Chain A
Amino acid sequence: MVAHHNPPVQFWWRERQRAEPVTGRVVVSIPQQSRALPVIVCSALGNLVAYVSAFRGSAAPTWAPFVFAISTVAMLTAIIVLGAHRRDRKLGLLAIPIALVAVILLGGFLAALQVAPPSAGSRLFAGLPLGAAIVVYGIGLLPLVILPVAYALTFANMTLSDADIQRVRDAKRAPRAGE
């Protein structure tokens, strides 16, 4: 929470900020949804930098896939937050499964980039060499038991309630400009 005596600077990604008069001061809260937007922009720039680096020389530099992995996970997480967050409430507990999946994906990619390549005698984990197991079971399957379950459990509170549907149906009945 940031306190201002004057109207706050309008950053373009913040849209219209909510202002509530509290004891004579204007208290402005920046919605989590709006924080997601600069993350999307920065991660798109990160991915673009990784791509552009590949145009210089015969192959992409070693840092490029790291930047690309971090930026992709950041963009994915920010887009999920953008969609899951509502203007009238905070993400609350939903932030935990979203953050957990982000950590799993990022950790999985960074581990996959660092792990030694397999050989004929490599030890197998659930039938696959370590790097492949991290990719298939960690990045591929683990999020299944986290995000879709969290979505279902918080659906009525965080995503869509009967009151929300009624509000939308009421909006349909309201005449639109020009009608």
Chain B
Amino acid sequence: MLMSDAITSQSAPIETARTSVIVIVALLYLAALVGISIWASRRTRTAEDFFVAGKGIGLFALTVASVSTTVSGFAFIGGPGLFYSVGLGALYIVLSASVTNVMGAWVLAKRMRLLGEVRPMLTVPDAIGARYDSRAAQGLSAIAILVGVIGYMATNALAMGVVLQAIFGVQLTHGVWIGMGITIAYSMAGGILAGIYNDVLQGALMAVASILVFVVVLQLGHGIGGHSRAILAVDPAFLSPFGKMTPLAALSLFFVFTIGSLGQPAQLHKYYMLRDPRQLRWYPLLKTVGLIVVLLLYFGVGLSVKALVSGGQLAPLAKPDDATPAFLLHFTPTLLAALVFSGVAAATMSITNSFMNIGAAAITHDLPLALGITVRNKLLVGRIATLVISLLAIALASLSRTTIAFLAIFGYGLFASTLVPSLAIGLNWRGATRAGAIASICTGLSVTLVCETLVFFKLLTMPVGVSIAGLSLLASLLIFFVTSWVTRHSAAATLADDIRVVMDV
């Protein structure tokens, strides 16, 4: 036994006083979010305010908000759950965090921020439309984003449900509705400005909470080594380099989450908001450090819960997604548990808010532009669109039979396969063509949806180690290059002079 009896005794049923403290802190936290949203709604007057925060966000706010939206419910609930079930292989999702931010800064951040200098940019499909001078490419990327947004929002709605279920003891479905209801309210009121400043509060809170939780993890195991010894005694494969996954499956996660990071609209969209492009200098370093601090919870809780179960201090979990709630409720001080629960709920709301905003922009801005329709009151239509896509996400979260982690991989993979070739490669390669972009977006969308549907209805079984997201990303990349090569004569014609300058610097 590695843990003391005193710590083991905390595994007893949670007392009412402890639950009350958690509920009070959660309510205070939600009140703070409402306050920020009311303040933001008074500063939101135009569509540019609603969608890109009037391009007035500073480096610190952008960095913390970006960390907050990157981690989401997936990293706090789904990630530790996946770690608990498959071991070290689950880390391959976040393993490239120290590389992806700087890669994104070189490949996309500068160019997208500079696009905002030469053209009025509100959305990620705006950049694709401008790059290829194509409404079709813009409209198709908006459709792909909309599908991915609903999938990703469902992930976070489910994570919110798990957290609220643990805090308030409500049913999972009720937790999903409560969490989404609060997020809808502040998103519809203040748009992205409310989201950004709520993200700042949430990101800062999560960084502090992650460090404190990691300290608890270290205390429980007398260092990481104590947890490792407890796990190795029972289940050594858990700590092998690829955990219980096959090497190909773990590497496949690394591939999708590394290259796919260049196609995540919640991150890309934020580049437009930076006040001064020169502030990008310190952005990758600050964001990477922030991200690694916050991911201590992912690693620490996943490792610790497995060790606690291996050592007999915690009963085996009914489902992997219970890992974080079980750890917080049984092994952390009350106030810290309350802080993390609030922060986790807030982080899921934060990313959901970002996606509500992106989805609303696709409906009110990109699709009408592609179809040649004029939307008169974008602000009002944006708020209605937010409500509609939220309801669709709630429906998907309620009907889904999969775990948070796998639902998130679907959303992440869809964004990756539809946006990485056309945007990340296209903004750095003059030889990319409009036909190549359209073909790659269609390929990413169709391969992902067809394969996921066939697998869902058990009409197709993917071999161990092959991910649909990875396959789809490879297919869209290759189609992009082949089609651009076939239509290479048209490459120069679709490149406007101002876009050419943005691509040259």
For B227, list chain A residues within 8 Å (CB): 127
* Given known A-B contacts A168-B118, A172-B117, A160 and B505 have beta carbons under 8 A apart: yes
B502 at the A interface (CB under 8 A): yes
A143 at the B interface (CB under 8 A): yes
A21 at the B interface (CB under 8 A): no
CB distance from B420 to the nearest CB of A (A): 9
**Closest 6 A/B residue pairs (Cβ):** A127-B224, A83-B107, A83-B106, A131-B241, A112-B241, A144-B98
B223 at the A interface (CB under 8 A): yes
| Contact A168 B288, beta carbon cutoff 8 Å | no
Q: How far is the CA of A84 from the CA of B110 in the complex (A)?
A: 10
Give chain A's interface secondary structure class: helix
A148 at the B interface (CB under 8 A): yes
Q: Which residue of A lies closest to B247 (CB)?
A: A65
For A65, list chain B residues within 8 Å (CB): 246-248, 251, 465
Residues B246-270 near A (CB distance < 8 A)? 246-248, 251-252, 254-255, 258-259, 262
For B277, list chain A residues within 8 Å (CB): 160, 165
For B464, list chain A residues within 8 Å (CB): 54, 59-60
How many residues of chain A get a CB closer than 8 Å to chain B's CBs? 80
For A155, list chain B residues within 8 Å (CB): 280-281
Contact of B429 among A15, A148, A149 (CB under 8 A): A15
| Contact B102 A151, beta carbon cutoff 8 Å | yes
B-contacting residues of A (Cβ < 8 Å)?
Answer: 12-13, 15-16, 33, 37, 40-41, 44-45, 47-48, 50-51, 54-55, 59-60, 64-65, 68-69, 72, 75-76, 79-80, 82-84, 86-88, 101, 105, 109, 112-113, 115, 117-120, 122, 124, 126-129, 131-132, 134-136, 139-144, 147-149, 151-152, 155-156, 159-160, 162, 164-165, 167-169, 171-172, 174, 176-177
- Of B232-240, B405-413, B449-457, the stretch lying at the interface with chain A is B232-240
| Contact B497 A152, beta carbon cutoff 8 Å | no
Q: How far is the CA of A15 from the CA of B492 in the complex (A)?
A: 10
* Given known A-B contacts A47-B474, A126-B224, A176-B496, A79 and B107 have beta carbons under 8 A apart: yes
Contact of A72 among B229, B251, B285, B485 (CB under 8 A): B251
B174 at the A interface (CB under 8 A): no
For A143, list chain B residues within 8 Å (CB): 98-99
Contact of A141 among B98, B247, B431, B496 (CB under 8 A): B98
| Contact A176 B498, beta carbon cutoff 8 Å | yes
Q: How far is the CA of A86 from the CA of B428 in the complex (A)?
A: 9
CB distance from B414 to the nearest CB of A (A): 18
Q: Which residue of A lies closest to B103 (CB)?
A: A80
Q: How far is the CA of A76 from the CA of B119 in the complex (A)?
A: 30
B301 at the A interface (CB under 8 A): no
Residues B432-488 near A (CB distance < 8 A)? 463-466, 470-471, 474, 477-478, 481, 485, 488
6 A-B residue pairs with CB within 8 Å: A37-B429, A127-B227, A135-B95, A160-B110, A160-B281, A171-B118
Q: Which residue of B lies closest to A13 (CB)?
A: B431
How many residues of chain B get a CB closer than 8 Å to chain A's CBs? 81
Given A128-B225, A160-B277, 19 additional A-B pairs, CB 8 A: A33-B428, A37-B431, A51-B470, A59-B463, A68-B255, A79-B424, A80-B106, A105-B99, A109-B251, A127-B223, A128-B228, A132-B241, A151-B102, A151-B284, A152-B284, A156-B281, A168-B118, A171-B118, A171-B498
B86 at the A interface (CB under 8 A): no
Contact of B470 among A33, A47, A162 (CB under 8 A): A47
* Given known A-B contacts A134-B241, A171-B118, A79 and B91 have beta carbons under 8 A apart: no
Contact of B502 among A68, A79, A144, A171 (CB under 8 A): A171
For A126, list chain B residues within 8 Å (CB): 224
| Contact A147 B241, beta carbon cutoff 8 Å | no
CB distance from A91 to the nearest CB of B (A): 11
| Contact B103 A132, beta carbon cutoff 8 Å | no
Contact of B501 among A76, A136, A167 (CB under 8 A): A167
* Given known A-B contacts A72-B251, A84-B106, A117 and B504 have beta carbons under 8 A apart: no
Q: How far is the CA of A177 from the CA of B495 in the complex (A)?
A: 10
CB distance from A179 to the nearest CB of B (A): 10
| Contact A55 B463, beta carbon cutoff 8 Å | yes
